Amino acid sequence: MAIKPEDALRAIAAARGDALCVPTMTTAPAWRTIAPNDLSVGCVGFMGGASSLGLGLALARPDRRVLVFDGDGSLLMQLGSLATVAGAAPRNLVHFLFKNGVYHTSGAQEIPGGGGVDFVQMAKGAGYRAASAIGELGELKRRLPSLLKEEGPIFVELHTGLAEATPMTAGMGTPFHQQVERLRGQLIAS
Ligand SMILES: Cc1ncc(C[n+]2csc(CCOP(=O)(O)OP(=O)(O)O)c2C)c(N)n1
Ligand SMILES: [Mg+2]
């Protein structure tokens, strides 16, 4: 049974503490509902940019955890970002991949390789400090405390079903530049 993406996000929201979060694609509308007032900035439209955005935040704020919620089609579009993250070796970055096997946001077309692409091996090959897959919600909940503590960059491939909403059905939310301003203000104030 695949993990419901909303359940994964709820578990992460409960465990995240003061982490900065970078949702993208179908995790973005779900995250807005689940954690409306958190420290986050969404990456919508820029396929494969979430981990680079997260990397910048992680390097700028080494005192905080940064959690990226990536899409599988998006990561395939920017596979080189795995090497960029690994090369920069941010100790505070956790890169969650929501592997649903499709480009859900644009109409659920199958991604190249379907469900067969092993992103864990790719992240290991790129040089992430740790990489593993999680296919069950209970395991995610059990492992979250250590994922939020251990030295990064850590990659976690989550085997998920389809989200209830996409940015196309739920809307894009707050424009990117306003999200950035809001996060900057929150970080300065905290
Ligand atoms: C370069 C580029 N090509 C195509 C698109 C159109 N597009 C927007 S979202 C999306 C699919 C995203 O799929 P995935 O990353 O797997 O996230 P999911 O929707 O499954 O959560 C596509 C193809 C885009 N934004 N940028
Ligand atoms: Mg997908």
Q: Atom 13 of ligand 1 has which residue's CA nearest to it? A: 103
Per-residue b/e over 162-189, b at no fewer than 16 CB within 10 Å? ebebbbeebeebeebeebeeebeeeeee
Residues 125-138: tens digit of each pLDDT: 999 999 999 999 99
pLDDT over 90, % of the chain: 91
65 phi, psi to nearest 5 deg: -75, 145
DSSP code for 113: T
Q: 3-class SS at 93?
A: strand
Most confident of 34-43, 117-126, 165-174: 117-126
Please state the atom number of ligand 1 nearest to the C-alpha of residue 71: 15
From 6, 9, 22, 25, mutation site for ligand 1 pocket: most ligand atoms within 8 A of C-beta:
25
Residue 114 reports pLDDT greater than 90: no
CA atoms within 13 A on the CB side of 31: 29
pLDDT digits (tens, 9 = 90+) for 117-163: 999 999 999 999 999 999 999 999 999 999 999 999 999 999 999 99
Q: What is the 73 CA–ligand 1 centroid distance (Å)?
A: 6
pLDDT (mean) for 2-25: 97
Region 82-110 average pLDDT: 98
Please name each of the domains of the chain with its CATH number: 5-189 (3.40.50.970)
Task: Give residue 82's identity as a one-letter amino acid code.
Answer: L
